[in-house]
């Protein structure tokens, strides 16, 4: 289980090696993604809170990166945070999410990105439920719900 202390240590040191890498030219990302997906994932944007029905969906399944299909989160770790973005307590594996210190907007936060393709996902905070105490606050547009184990 990833802890807040682990995340702080990683942001000061180095993210784990990703399971694989996906790199594409910017033109390719623009062609593959909708304008909103591109703005959020490649441009480090944020979608409006409560703009996605994904916040209230809790059916079994997994959530993959919209850019590279890497499985990032499982519905068993999803919870209602009331923040307006899908929230999770843990990633599916310790090497699929990368952490970066974020000093934007006059705040000290930890940005989360896909460790495989560098897509911006959202942020992680130490105010989630037990046992991890983590809240991965993720832009719904950066995720796609998948069924089964057909994503990598």
Q: Where are the domains of the chain?
A: 4-146
- Alpha-carbon distance 26 to 34, whole Å? 13
Q: So what's the pLDDT on residue 151?
A: 45
pLDDT beyond 50 at 78 = yes
In angstroms, the first-to-last Cα distance of the chain is 21
Q: Which residue numbers are catalytic? A: 137
Band of pLDDT at residue 105, cut at 50, 70 and 90: low
Could you tell me how many residues make up the chain?
A: 152
Q: So what's the pLDDT on residue 75?
A: 95
Q: So what's the pLDDT on residue 152?
A: 46
- Ramachandran angles phi, psi of 94, nearest 5°: -70, -15
CB 151 within 8 A of CB 71: yes
Question: Out of 3.40.50.1980, 2.40.160.100, 2.170.150.20, 1.10.10.60, which CATH number does the structure's domain 4-146 have?
Answer: 2.170.150.20
Give pLDDT tens digits for 1-51.
999 999 999 999 999 999 999 999 999 999 999 999 999 999 999 999 999
Task: Outline where 33-144 has alpha helix (H).
Answer: 35-41
Residue 79 exposure: Cα atoms within 13 Å on the Cβ side: 16
Contacts of 132 (CB under 8 A, 6+ apart): 1, 2, 3, 89, 90
């Amino acid at each position: 289980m990833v802890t807040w202390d682990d995340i702080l240590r990683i942001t000061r040191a180095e993210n784990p090696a990703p399971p694989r890498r996906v790199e594409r030219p910017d033109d390719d990302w623009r062609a593959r993604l909708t304008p909103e997906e591109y703005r959020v994932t490649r441009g480090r944007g944020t979608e409006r809170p409560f703009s996605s029905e994904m916040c209230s969906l809790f059916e079994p399944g997994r959530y993959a990166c919209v850019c590279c299909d890497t499985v990032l989160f499982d519905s068993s770790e999803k919870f209602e945070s009331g923040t307006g973005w899908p929230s999770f307590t843990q990633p599916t594996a310790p090497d699929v999410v990368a952490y970066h210190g974020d000093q934007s907007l006059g705040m000290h936060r930890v940005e989360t990105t896909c460790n495989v393709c560098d897509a911006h996902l959202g942020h992680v905070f130490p105010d989630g439920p037990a046992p991890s105490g983590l809240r991965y606050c993720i832009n719904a547009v950066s995720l796609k719900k998948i069924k089964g184990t057909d994503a990598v």
